[in-house]
Structure 1
Amino acid sequence: MLYLTALNPTDSVLDGLLPAADALGVPVTVLTDRPDDWPETVPARGCPVRDPHAVTETVRDGPAPAGLFSNSDHLQAATALAARRLGLPGKDPEAARRCKDKAATRQAVAEAGLDVVRARTLTPDEPPTFDVFPAVVKPRDGVASEDAYLVADEDDLARRVTEIRGRRPDASLVVEEYLPGDVRTHDTLGDGETLTVLGGWRTTLGPPPTFTELCLEWAPAPPATADAVQAQLDALGVRFGACHTEFVVHRERPRLIEVNDRLIGDRMDLVLADLLGVPLFEYVIRLHLGEPVADFDLPAPASIGRTARVEYVCAERGGTLVAAPGPVDTVRDGVRLGCRPLRTVGTTAERTGTNRDYLAVLHAIGSDPVAVGRALVEFRAGLDWVVIT
């Protein structure tokens, strides 16, 4: 039995990992603290998945485990610790903790002598002071750019901290210097010994003060940059499973933004698998069943002969989504195009300035970057989303 810990249902699990497990002939049990949120077709079992002891005991009470893992930012450390206690392949629990804890990430990289980002942690009762601006304030254990803001001065910082604490009164925050430069990603798979680079993307962000990803273009990092990023991941102990790293390149030097110890999200993992032409989700599962990366047929990122562009359609205001295109797949001038909804018609939501505002994701895959970009522009122009307040 393969055990997968999760919170709410995600496309990565429903459209990626579960079909991959089925293709491999591996039965799956999803352990979740929200079993009623999952489709009836998914074998979900209730479990307080943030508690490694509870996860360990739940697995021990079920069919013999062949593997245990998670694709959730929130559950990596707890799941890794449970896997270790059960003697199963998995991530280093301490490395998973360092990746999730943004202050610990900075400390580990600094102690390795690789980069120093000026930063401080604000506990829930500490005054919001800092001495370097512009700066970024965000939850110490946050994800998906939620409650992450660019701040210009101490007054701006104080306003944002008050706002965040109104929603997260018990959360510690991190304030750190703003890192200018082109935003990139570095995506990897590892078996504990060997780490293989899947590729990377150049990211376009929306306007400040938030950091919403609007567009990603296939752009694997050159070897020198990839090696420098990997040295920082080594300092964190990242060696196993999937990992999605975000960094900036400033004056030819890569500097980490954050390390997400799982696959790239928001359907980018599904696009990546399509672009590379590999069963990426099967490979992730096989790693957690104990297979080495060397057994996988992974192409060198620079050799695939294809490129891709992904764009997110964001709600421009809060309200109810009343009309939207359904899933669409088509081919235009040799470019494969797709649209996948990320919000259900009839859903009402506030605007957050994060990827929670996404209505849909569009992608284009082809051999020529110019043709890919042109085809995606024309494709998007023929689609409409309607949000009413």
Structure 2
Amino acid sequence: MNAPRLAVLHRPHGAAGLREIFAASRGLCEPHLVLRQEVAEQDPEILRTAPSFFPVSVCTGDDVTSAVRDMSAAGLVTFHDAELEHVDAALTALGLPGRSLIDDAWDKLVQRRAFESAGCSAIRAVPVDRAEDLHNAVARIGLPAVLKPRRAAGGGGVAFIGTEADVQHQLDRRTRWNGLLLETRIPSSAHPSGVGWLGDFVSVETASVGTDRRHLAVFDKVPVSVVARAGHDGADAVDVTGDVTPSRLPAPAHRAVLDATSAALDALGVRDRVTHTELRIGSDGAEVIEVNGRVGGHLARVLRLVGGPDLIGQALTVALGVSPAPAPETAPGYALGLFAPFPDRTGPVLSSVSRADLRALPGVVGVDEVARQGAARQDTGGRIANLTLRAPDSETLDRYVREVSSGLAGLFAADGMRDDPWLLRLAGGPLEDRRPSHAD
């Protein structure tokens, strides 16, 4: 029996690369890659590499629907946030699994209104499409608030508005206003576990087959790095910095997170899709930040380190409207994906650091990226490195995080890492001036 054909609307730098999709599809489906013409023109290298893995079709313009219809695909999926609306339009036109019951389900303003209507969130949000809308929005929402794009990922375009001076900064500096929203800022808190280096938010990966919700994994987070007014177009520089599994949430908080995730997915009418839901956790429960209609970035590699479910394979299976096999029990221990940002994302990299230097740090089992001396810091998205760590238990993980923080401070001292507040929090105090040797 032939495997079902599945269209994958691809774009580089998503949550799954070509090799990951190829490996996950074995025995599940026959992937056919679809590229919008704009994507193919922006990254012509993909047309040279992708045919080694899959058949490839390039759309005429943005006509994803025709491309998927012509290949007689039984389903369609994407692993990139920027392609979600194109996928949803094709799913609706072709009657394929995966379409949410409400329109524009990944629009953050639509989500806020759906959550409010369902009674699962008290966070208020209003649209901001022109500079003159901002004062009215502040008057309605109050301060503190968050100004952010209705469609974006990874903290891009976000500004935390706490004072009238912050409002004026946006009016003076921001040039692109269409498609923003202002929402109540969810109060910051501490991770309920009491672990000081963990952030106050988590994410949940969920496989929905029809209305059946299977929560595959809960990830704790390394605190977000925020540099006020240092982002593009008047925004703050906001960077997500890491994911930890399994979560160290106490049982009541863990249950509250799963309940809030299910309520949010129900409110959006999510069907036949793997989703990534981010939630802030505090003393009064869990509040949904946003729901993303695809696998979370970087998470599949972290979950593999503890033998967890294959998020890519789950997404491929669910996109066909098929219930995936039960997830395996995870292995003992902890896995951490850490992508440490530069304090200043502008200018060239000053430190000379090799992959071998990073692999010598305690607990490091993978180095996916390292900033190269002389290159622009933005070449790596403003990150000094992208690491994965493995620890046998929570006490060892905490020690590894302190020691890796100290090691990164020494390795990237020329780039200001020894004085970086974000890194100081991970280290739990003053940082050693130490460059690790390969014998450590």
TM-score range, shorter-chain basis?
Answer: 0.7 to 0.9
- Map 1:182-197 onto structure 2 (within 5 A): 182-197=200-215
Instruction: Give the alignment partner of residue 46 of structure 1, picking from 44, 47, 58.
Output: 58
Q: Verify: 1:310 aligned to 2:337, yes or no.
A: yes
Between structures 1 and 2, the one with greater strand share: 1
CA contact (8 A) 1:5 1:30 kept: yes
| SS in structure 2 of the partner of residue 128 of structure 1 | helix
How much has 1:105 moved relative to structure 2?
Answer: 0.9
- Counterpart CA distance in 1 for 2:309 and 2:34 is 24
- Map 1:1-389 onto structure 2 (within 5 A): 1-10=5-14, 12-21=16-25, 24=28, 26-32=30-36, 33-36=38-41, 37=43, 38-39=45-46, 40-43=48-51, 44-47=56-59, 51=62, 54-61=63-70, 63-92=71-100, 94=102, 97-98=104-105, 100-124=106-130, 126-129=132-135, 130-131=138-139, 132-164=142-174, 166=175, 168-169=176-177, 171-180=178-187, 181=189, 182-203=200-221, 204-207=223-226, 209=228, 210=236, 211-218=238-245, 219=247, 222-265=254-297, 267-293=298-324, 295-299=325-329, 304-317=331-344, 318-321=346-349, 323-326=352-355, 337-341=365-369, 347-350=375-378, 356-379=381-404, 384=411
- Counterpart CA distance in 2 for 1:327 and 1:42 is 30
CA contact (8 A) 2:206 2:274 kept: yes
Deviations 1:140-173 (A, max 9, x none): 2222111101111233123225433x2x35x221
- Taking a change above 3 Å as real, the CA distance of residues 24 and 248 of structure 1, as seen in their structure-2 partners, is same
Letter of the aligned partner of 1:178 in structure 2? R
- Identify the range of structure 1 (225-234 vs 2-11) with the bigger mean alpha-carbon deviation: 2-11
Deviations 1:304-360 (A, max 9, x none): 532223321212331234754348996998x56222117677753559xxx932242
Percent identity among equivalent residues? 24
CA contact (8 A) 2:295 2:312 kept: no
CA contact (8 A) 2:15 2:295 kept: no
How much has 1:110 moved relative to structure 2?
Answer: 0.6
How much has 1:84 moved relative to structure 2?
Answer: 3.4
Letter of the aligned partner of 2:264 in structure 1? Q
| SS in structure 2 of the partner of residue 175 of structure 1 | strand
| SS in structure 1 of the partner of residue 296 of structure 2 | coil
- Counterpart CA distance in 1 for 2:374 and 2:102 is 42
- Counterpart CA distance in 2 for 1:64 and 1:123 is 40
CA contact (8 A) 1:183 1:249 kept: yes
- Counterpart CA distance in 2 for 1:311 and 1:263 is 18
- Taking a change above 3 Å as real, the CA distance of residues 48 and 250 of structure 1, as seen in their structure-2 partners, is farther
Q: Based on CA coordinates, which of the two structures has the bigger radius of gyration? A: 2
| SS in structure 2 of the partner of residue 42 of structure 1 | helix
- Taking a change above 3 Å as real, the CA distance of residues 226 and 326 of structure 1, as seen in their structure-2 partners, is same
- Taking a change above 3 Å as real, the CA distance of residues 332 and 152 of structure 1, as seen in their structure-2 partners, is closer
- Counterpart CA distance in 2 for 1:368 and 1:156 is 43
CA contact (8 A) 1:327 1:340 kept: no
- Taking a change above 3 Å as real, the CA distance of residues 326 and 116 of structure 1, as seen in their structure-2 partners, is same
- Identify the range of structure 1 (111-120 vs 154-163) with the bigger mean alpha-carbon deviation: 154-163
CA contact (8 A) 2:125 2:182 kept: yes
Letter of the aligned partner of 1:313 in structure 2? A
Aligned positions, number: 371
CA contact (8 A) 2:64 2:90 kept: yes
| SS in structure 2 of the partner of residue 363 of structure 1 | strand
CA contact (8 A) 1:3 1:65 kept: yes
CA contact (8 A) 1:68 1:83 kept: yes
- Counterpart CA distance in 2 for 1:309 and 1:191 is 28
How much has 1:59 moved relative to structure 2?
Answer: 2.2
Letter of the aligned partner of 1:357 in structure 2? G
CA contact (8 A) 2:371 2:377 kept: no
Letter of the aligned partner of 1:29 in structure 2? L
Deviations 1:41-71 (A, max 9, x none): 203443367x4xx10112233x331321111
Deviations 1:265-319 (A, max 9, x none): 1x222212332433332222122233213x23344xxx65322233212123312
- Taking a change above 3 Å as real, the CA distance of residues 92 and 3 of structure 1, as seen in their structure-2 partners, is same
- Counterpart CA distance in 2 for 1:9 and 1:341 is 13
- Counterpart CA distance in 2 for 1:3 and 1:329 is 38
| SS in structure 2 of the partner of residue 217 of structure 1 | strand
How much has 1:11 moved relative to structure 2?
Answer: 5.8
How much has 1:368 moved relative to structure 2?
Answer: 0.4
Q: Gapped runs of 5+ residues in structure 1?
A: none
CA contact (8 A) 1:273 1:279 kept: yes
Letter of the aligned partner of 1:116 in structure 2? A
- Taking a change above 3 Å as real, the CA distance of residues 93 and 9 of structure 1, as seen in their structure-2 partners, is farther
How much has 1:238 moved relative to structure 2?
Answer: 2.4
CA contact (8 A) 1:16 1:270 kept: no
How much has 1:254 moved relative to structure 2?
Answer: 1.1
How much has 1:216 moved relative to structure 2?
Answer: 3.0
| SS in structure 2 of the partner of residue 60 of structure 1 | helix
How large is the RMSD of aligned CA atoms in angstroms?
3.2
